[in-house]
Amino acid sequence: MLAHSPPLPLIIDYDDELDALTAEDEEAIVLALGHRNRVRRIRLAMPVPNLQKLIVGMDEEYPVLEYLVVGPSMQDSTALIFPGTLQAPHLRHLTLLGFANPIGSRLFTTAVGLVTLCLIITHPHAYLQPDNLLQWISSIPRLEILTIFFVFPVPSHDVFQGVSAYLEALVRRITAPRLEIDFFKQITFSVPRLLQFMNMTESFKFNSAEFQFFDDNVDMKVYPHVGATMYAFSIVVYCQHLDRQVSSVAQISKSSIQVFSVVEHLTLVHGRSSEERNEADGTEWREFLRSFSNVKTLNVDDGLVKEVSRCLQMYDGELLLVLLPELRELTYPRSSDTDDIFTSFIDARRNAGRPITLTRR
């Protein structure tokens, strides 16, 4: 079919999670890969032995290749070796999983038109030092999306606070129109350079923030204005229990208080299905809310109403004025067991000359 069909672009897409590659399928893939002038997209996911055998043969130029996604179909202790002579001058999107450090390949000196790059690093000996990574991506002027996943602890001899410190080493030397960060099971956060980066980047101008609490992560998105469909930056922290999630966002917001102090509209979304340990320390909630000194509207989703109302209860005479001092409107769902839950807070603020409009939806 390949020999007698018109020279149309080829897409090679093979994904088998469990079974070894059959001889027939291997022969077909090798035959298709041999038509280098026609291959536009490649996605290969299969057990490591089969995958390594195939990518060894990708050792020449693929002049029209635009999309390359390669990695084992399951986590494996063996690191893949990337072909050193592979070239793809028109490559736009690249995802590599489970490879040893691939930067020495000719691909990374010829693919200067990359728009998205995702590196999933599963082995410590494939670890990329921040300086080496930055030197490489500095030669990719069109890069818009950079994603780096570590599936192992970041080496302590380079950075001392895990992924957040790796992030710190990167952001001090990059500019970006949009930023998305994922933290996996990290307990402490210290990101002062991230704060500096956001303050110096003109595109990070916003007044609306949304925090979504799910079963296995908390997702923070900050928008330039209410109703915006594209966020200015996003941070996702992967941890399960609500108390850990609130502690995480409290640390991040506290370390970035200069950034969050301009937010005027704050939304708290409850997306959790599990009720296990579905409570957080009121101190952590207060620490979190203290960073939002300019919030004027607060929208609290069902499932978090009791949590938020509990932290707003007065335990000293000044608390209700210190937390959310500019708040003008509080919105929460209409529910039979939360009808009067914010009454003491509303009354106290009114008596202090700072009235709040309560909206039930």
Query: How many Å apart are CA 88 and CA 225, to the nearest integer?
Result: 40
Q: What pLDDT score was predicted for residue 168?
A: 61
Yes or no: say if 253 and 260 are a contact pair by the CB < 8 Å rule. Answer: yes
Q: What pLDDT score was predicted for residue 255?
A: 74
Q: What pLDDT score was predicted for residue 264?
A: 95
Q: What pLDDT score was predicted for residue 192?
A: 54
- Does the pTM exceed 0.85? no
Distances (CA, A) of 182 to 14, 32, 238: 28, 36, 7
Note down pLDDT in tens along the chain; length 361 residues: 888 888 899 999 998 766 678 889 999 999 999 999 999 999 999 888 889 999 988 989 999 999 999 998 766 667 888 888 899 999 999 998 888 777 777 888 888 899 998 888 777 666 677 777 777 777 788 888 877 777 665 444 443 344 556 666 665 556 555 555 555 445 455 555 555 555 555 555 678 999 999 998 899 888 888 888 878 777 888 888 898 899 888 888 887 777 788 899 999 999 888 655 557 778 889 889 998 999 999 999 988 998 898 888 765 555 667 789 999 999 998 875 667 888 888 888 888 888 999 998 8
Q: What pLDDT score was predicted for residue 3?
A: 82
Residues 252-274 as b/e (b if ≥16 CB within 10 A, e otherwise) read bbebbeebbeebbbbbbbbebee
Yes or no: say if 297 and 328 are a contact pair by the CB < 8 Å rule. Answer: yes
Query: How many Å apart are CA 21 and CA 250, to the nearest integer?
Result: 48
303 C-beta neighbours (distance < 10 Å), count:
19
Yes or no: say if 223 and 209 are a contact pair by the CB < 8 Å rule. Answer: yes
